[in-house]
Structure 1
Amino acid sequence: MTLTEEEVAIVRLVGEFVDREVKPVARELDHTDTYPEKLIEQMKEMGIFGLAVPEPWGEAHVSAQCYAMVTEELARGWMSLAGAMGGHTVVAKLLVAYGTREQQDRYLPRMATGEVRATMALTEPGGGSDLQAMRTTARRDGESYVVNGSKTWITNARRSDLIALLCKTDPAASPAHKGISILLVEKGPGFSLSRDLPKLGYKGVESCELAFDDFRVPTSALLGGEEGHGFAQMMRGLEIGRIQVACRALGVGRAALEDSLRYAQERESFGKPIWQHQSVGNHLADMATKLEAARQLTLHAARRYDSGERADLEAGMAKLFASETAMEVALNAIRVHGGYGYSTEFDVERYFRDAPLMIVGEGTNEIQRNVIARQLIKRHEVRSS
């Protein structure tokens, strides 16, 4: 499948927005850890928050391949902008796939315009990637659920109006995943944002700790209206989430490569441009080759997702390879720039601070390898005779 003419135009439009509006201000916004209010508003106007919302609720629904390319463009300008729409997209996909019609009609039209921003709350302070070990519970009480627990590393939590909360509606269920559900949560009494977490990179957008203390939500907030399906629902949602994280990595890596190619032609040493020195030229060749391999792997995962088939293996591979590649490319960009690569007056130090997020985000790469291995065995299981 190739992009439609309209999708090609959308990717081009976002690329032009990045060059014109994002790149000139990203360094200052990053260094001052400033929320990009103006850029987010422009993204709303361009329809970026509605790319995962189909008709009748949205107007600019695109394929996963187009969404991947848009994400790469945003991250090329500033990875935090891609992060600002990542969780939002996962929640939109969850609503489209599993929401009741009432839930879809309530949220999706306003999510498509960006009027309502959404995020997901999975990770807990003591749990990390072990989602089945979560301690946040939702106890049924009449026509409400009473939620108690905490979540951490929740991006955009302060500015999101809707949170897809993964919790245990049946803590005694065995296996544990059968007792997990998703609640569509809006802020209210008993919900608190305890603090914004300080971060190495990924500046400008907030990552918060959430606390729930006898927080009440109506039973109508249960995604799909039936308990016990939340874990499977979120695993499907994380397929597009991991493709998105892979694309963030591609954007960071691409920005690092583009800066390195420019610098290697402008900077001279020993009477010639530094790219002509074999050690520097080899770095550039390896950076470009691995980045292109990561891109093709990611687009393959996006095509698989578009086909409607399970894409957890492909999305996992893309996220793993693209994130590790971005880290390597960012480091090599510093090598190419020499001392200037360590200076905050050049963007390559930002790429180096942003790249590790994709290694640990949306499931660490250590967990990702476990997911890949399980799916490989599942697809290539040896049947005993």
Structure 2
Amino acid sequence: MSIDFSPSWMDDDLAMYRASVARFLVQEMVPGDEEARKRGHVGHALWHKAGELGVLCSDIPEAYGGGGGDFRHEAVMVEEMGKRGLTGMSTTVHSIVAHYFYNHGTEEQKHRYLPAMARGECVGAIAMTEPAAGSDLQGIRTRAHRAGDDYVIHGSKTFISNGYLAGVVLVVAKTDPSQGARGISIFIVDTKDCPGFRVSRLLDKIGLKAQDTAELFFDDVRVPVDNLLGGREGQGFFQLMSDLPYERTLIGVGAVAAMEGAYQATLDYVRERKAFGQALAEFQNTRFKLAEIATRAKVARAFVDRCVESFVAGRLDTVTASMVKLWTTEAQCQVVDECLQLFGGYGYMNEYLIGRMYADARIQRIYGGANEIMKEVIARAL
């Protein structure tokens, strides 16, 4: 009897969708993963293939070019990539950007960008973090001021996922620095043929090697007034805050999938690897460690499934989403570390999935709001 990690929210239609996603990843993404890690990005062609298959923006209504599904469809994509250690396509960020358009954009903005994003023709990125401002969004220095029929944006952003391949970037900037949170707005920047916009370089990260993460510069970039997300100044901070449960729950989904993938890879390895004349799986220490790992992954699965179901039902609050992000990402790092130990020296090699998972896991506790911020959000609700 094996441990059952099946999500409680699956049904027959989602099972068929999962099979389709898995085939796409195995046939199209896995073969090119090593080259993508060397190059630092997956290239536009893979995004186009994903769009053709219909696995992008799967929870955006069909009226805007999306798949017409719900949050569970996005979770399936994140899970299937997470358990295989595939990080090159940040579909999570792409979907988050799509939801900013869907939840806060004007009708014209939705129809202009969402169909292209669903087709994979326009990769989405959101530019929040700056060299001197990470989790503290009120500390950003990028400015945008009105100049006739345009806004002029000046500043720089760093650690931007999808930044190198992005066709559209949502830029968080201050339109009125004297107003604090109420002085922040989000602007839509089309990267093609955009004077003043520069992608400086792909950043050299310790993990997520196949995912393009870049520094972006906005040197007096001019965008039409119609490119203000939602059409009203001063709404940026509130737009960002309202979509945090979506982002943080997806991070939790990815964390539990990585735990399950690491567990299975380790189980397979210790059954084959021999030491002192017997398989590693026959040693009591190995079996007890695997028992602890499986239990932690099972607990994480129960928590994440509850949050997914609550999100679909419209009941998931910011505090619970912060809890799931905090707990699952901490557990992911613990689980992958324990799994790597059972691999011994081979676990430290990049050619082994567990080694890549180990390096990839660490960022989970930082992006989407550092876990210290999650604790602060939770503490304020006590």
TM-score (norm 1): 0.91
Query: Is the 2:151–2:225 Cα contact (8 Å) retained in structure 1?
Result: yes
Give CA deviations for 1:110-151 in whole Å, capped at 9, x if unaligned: 111111111111111101111111111111122111111111
Structure 1 Cα separation of the partners of residues 178 and 370 of structure 2: 27
Amino acid at match of 1:165: V
Cα deviation for residue 367 of structure 1 reads 1.3
- Equivalent residues in 2 for 1:1-385 (5 A)? 2-27=9-34, 29-30=36-37, 33=40, 35=42, 39-81=46-88, 83-173=89-179, 176-187=180-191, 188-309=194-315, 311-374=317-380, 376-377=381-382
Amino acid at match of 2:85: W
Cα deviation for residue 58 of structure 1 reads 2.4
Structure 1 Cα separation of the partners of residues 270 and 35 of structure 2: 24
**CA distance 1:218–1:36, shift in 2 (3 Å):** closer
Query: Is the 2:162–2:213 Cα contact (8 Å) retained in structure 1?
Result: yes
Amino acid at match of 1:342: Y
Structure 1 Cα separation of the partners of residues 33 and 118 of structure 2: 25
Cα deviation for residue 51 of structure 1 reads 1.0
Amino acid at match of 2:100: L
Q: How many residues align?
A: 373
Amino acid at match of 2:128: L
**CA distance 1:148–1:38, shift in 2 (3 Å):** closer
Cα deviation for residue 186 of structure 1 reads 1.2
**CA distance 1:19–1:257, shift in 2 (3 Å):** farther
Structure 2 Cα separation of the partners of residues 223 and 240 of structure 1: 19
**CA distance 1:211–1:287, shift in 2 (3 Å):** same
Cα deviation for residue 28 of structure 1 reads 5.1
Structure 2: runs of 5 or more not aligned: 1-7
What does residue 5 of structure 2 align with?
Answer: none
Cα deviation for residue 34 of structure 1 reads 5.2
Query: Is the 1:171–1:179 Cα contact (8 Å) retained in structure 2?
Result: yes
Query: Is the 1:122–1:165 Cα contact (8 Å) retained in structure 2?
Result: yes
Give CA deviations for 1:288-307 in whole Å, capped at 9, x if unaligned: 11122222222222222222
SS at match of 1:151: strand
- After TM superposition, the structure 1 stretch with the greater mean CA deviation from structure 2, 199-208 or 301-310, is 301-310
**CA distance 1:343–1:314, shift in 2 (3 Å):** same
Cα deviation for residue 203 of structure 1 reads 0.9
Amino acid at match of 1:365: N
Structure 1 Cα separation of the partners of residues 30 and 164 of structure 2: 25
Query: Is the 1:79–1:354 Cα contact (8 Å) retained in structure 2?
Result: no
Cα deviation for residue 253 of structure 1 reads 2.1
Cα deviation for residue 9 of structure 1 reads 1.3
**CA distance 1:37–1:167, shift in 2 (3 Å):** closer
Structure 2 Cα separation of the partners of residues 373 and 142 of structure 1: 45
Structure 2 Cα separation of the partners of residues 32 and 135 of structure 1: 31
Give CA deviations for 1:264-295 in whole Å, capped at 9, x if unaligned: 11122334322221211121111111122222
- After TM superposition, the structure 1 stretch with the greater mean CA deviation from structure 2, 51-60 or 154-163, is 51-60
What is the alpha-carbon root mean square deviation over aligned residues? Answer: 2.0
Give CA deviations for 1:308-362 in whole Å, capped at 9, x if unaligned: 3453222211111121111111111111111221223322111111110111111
Query: Is the 2:85–2:356 Cα contact (8 Å) retained in structure 1?
Result: no
Cα deviation for residue 243 of structure 1 reads 1.7
Structure 2 Cα separation of the partners of residues 211 and 155 of structure 1: 14
**CA distance 1:37–1:144, shift in 2 (3 Å):** closer
Amino acid at match of 1:178: R
TM-score (norm 2): 0.91
